[in-house]
Amino acid sequence: AGPCDIYATGNTPCIAAHSTTRALYSAYTGALYQVKRGSDSTTTDISPLSAGGVANAAAQDTFCASTTCLITIIYDQSGRGNHLKQAPPGGFSGPEANGYDNLASAIGAPVTLNGQKAYGVFMSPGTGYSNNAASGTATGDAAEGMYAVLDGTHYNDACCFDYGNAEVSSTDTGNGHMEAIYYGNSTSWGSGAGSGPWIMADLENGLFSGSSSGNNAGDPSLSYRFVNAVIKGGPNLWAIRGGNAASGSLSTYYSGARPTASGYNPMSKEGAIILGIGGDNSNGAQGTFYEGVMTSGYPTDATENSVQANIVAAKYATTSLTSGTALTVGSSISLRATTSGYTTRYIAHTGATINTQVVSSSSTTALQQQASWTVRAGLANSACFSFESVDTPGSFIRHYNFALLLAANDGTKALHEDATFCPQTGLNGQGSSIRSWSYPTRYFRHYENLLYIASNGGVHTFDSATSFNDDVSWVISTGFA
């Protein structure tokens, strides 16, 4: 059985079922998600390998070979057509054209399920999906349940990495107009024990960690790589549950009455569905989604416990984030451009600016050092890499406003994430393309001889699709110095 078969048996059927990694019904053979590739803007659907099975990641890899791919649709497996698509502007506008949010890279969150490769949805700040015309979702004070399997190590404190029920207008229409899972370490409204991240309920104008606004010590900080986050709500009753999605059982972090602040009892749920954003399209949050559902009716704890067992049996596990030229931590490398007309240029720095410069073995020692980088384990994720300046030890290549800079490692989560990169086989067939861990749609790119993290077509000049594959492919060799 799949999770939605279990909910159906419990008389709280799924009315939305979303996953890029696997079918959530044992009989489901339809499309899981759609990807669009950068080379020709065509799309294809990715389906399970077999009924009820894991996504056919190899089909994605073939379709996306030598180009970039975005996840354009996360299909609803429930049959209600509650698909998730690029979120439109609302109270806040997204970074994409016409105020839409960004779409997620199709390769930012590789995992295995029972040893078979699949891809989750790695959502950088600015990324969001929604369906503002969903059918069968709870409205008003009606009861619903939901769970989401997330990457417990990918979060931030911005508003709001959510999955669940929200406003149909993408604007804040008042307390109680949402009921969604939140995951992160925002303390703007509520918090739990420790420093987070926490599972909270986004009920609009409030992230709730327990019976009341603010801190509720019963909601623990979580450190699981894979988290199962559960929220459910009905008339004057709601709950937060959670656990390790890779082993063990669920715990109940809160179960009880609605908040007493006005507007939350009864609720005024509107029935849209959001992923990765707040109800008003607040889009500063980050997180990774693998699978999740929403139900009609208030699921029993026993039903949710069976779903947890099903998720654990799916055996989520991490897998490699890199390919291309092998890198050795501690070694010095230099990175040469492959764009025709620029092939004598290497990634270097001039002060804090990261650029390309013509470098050779007869260049000055100073320039050779400026174009040499010590490979370090990724500061935010040791499955990827960071690049420390040979002539300025302690300073690393980071992105800031999507430009690359040389910056001292100040020990912050932001610096670590901005300085972590995951190389893959070069998009033009040469060397490596160096993907940002935190913005996996974006790669090291030279543009007018300056370095950026660029996406393949996007709102910035340096996102130009012209010459993209060449500008993001680098031949990596032993460092000059």
Q: Which residues are catalytic?
A: 204, 280
Tell me the closest approach of the beta carbon of residue 394 to ligand AHR, in angstroms. 18
Please report whether residue 224 would count as binding ligand AHR according to CB under 6 A.
no
Please report whether residue 448 would count as binding ligand AHR according to CB under 6 A.
yes
Tell me the closest approach of the beta carbon of residue 286 to ligand AHR, in angstroms. 9
Tell me the closest approach of the beta carbon of residue 174 to ligand AHR, in angstroms. 10
Tell me the closest approach of the beta carbon of residue 56 to ligand AHR, in angstroms. 32
Stretch that binds ligand AHR, among 3-11, 38-46, 388-396, 400-408 (CB under 6 A): 400-408
Tell me the closest approach of the beta carbon of residue 271 to ligand AHR, in angstroms. 15
Please report whether residue 42 would count as binding ligand AHR according to CB under 6 A.
no
Q: Which of residues 67-106 bind ligand AHR (CB under 6 A)?
A: none
Please report whether residue 449 would count as binding ligand AHR according to CB under 6 A.
yes
Please select the residue that binds ligand AHR; options are 5, 96, 418, 463, rule is CB under 6 A.
Answer: 418
Q: Where are the beta strands (DSSP E) in 47-113?
A: 69-74, 84-86, 104-113
Please report whether residue 269 would count as binding ligand AHR according to CB under 6 A.
no
Please select the residue that binds ligand AHR; options are 36, 37, 241, 446, rule is CB under 6 A.
Answer: 446
Task: Check if the beta carbon of residue 256 is closer than 8 Å to that of residue 237.
Answer: yes
Please report whether residue 117 would count as binding ligand AHR according to CB under 6 A.
no
Question: In terms of Cα–Cα distance, which of 112, 111, 2, 6 is closest to 53?
Answer: 2
Please report whether residue 287 would count as binding ligand AHR according to CB under 6 A.
no
Please report whether residue 219 would count as binding ligand AHR according to CB under 6 A.
no
Stretch that binds ligand AHR, among 98-106, 134-142, 399-407, 422-430 (CB under 6 A): 399-407
Please report whether residue 428 would count as binding ligand AHR according to CB under 6 A.
no
Please report whether residue 29 would count as binding ligand AHR according to CB under 6 A.
no
Please report whether residue 467 would count as binding ligand AHR according to CB under 6 A.
yes
Please report whether residue 334 would count as binding ligand AHR according to CB under 6 A.
no
Q: Which of 71-92 are b and which e, b meaning 16 or more Cβ less than 10 Å from the residue's Cβ? A: bbbbbbbbebebbbbbbbbbeb
Please report whether residue 285 would count as binding ligand AHR according to CB under 6 A.
no
Tell me the closest approach of the beta carbon of residue 198 to ligand AHR, in angstroms. 14
How far from chain centre, in Å, is Cα 240?
A: 22
Please report whether residue 410 would count as binding ligand AHR according to CB under 6 A.
no
Please report whether residue 179 would count as binding ligand AHR according to CB under 6 A.
no
Q: What H or E segment, with its residue span, contains residue 423?
A: strand 421-425
Please select the residue that binds ligand AHR; options are 108, 206, 431, 458, rule is CB under 6 A.
Answer: 206
Please report whether residue 169 would count as binding ligand AHR according to CB under 6 A.
no
**Closer Cβ to ligand AHR, 22 or 435, answer by number:** 435
Q: What are the residues binding ligand AHR (CB under 6 A)?
A: 159-160, 172, 189, 202, 204-207, 278-280, 282, 339, 342, 399-402, 414, 418, 438, 446-449, 467, 471
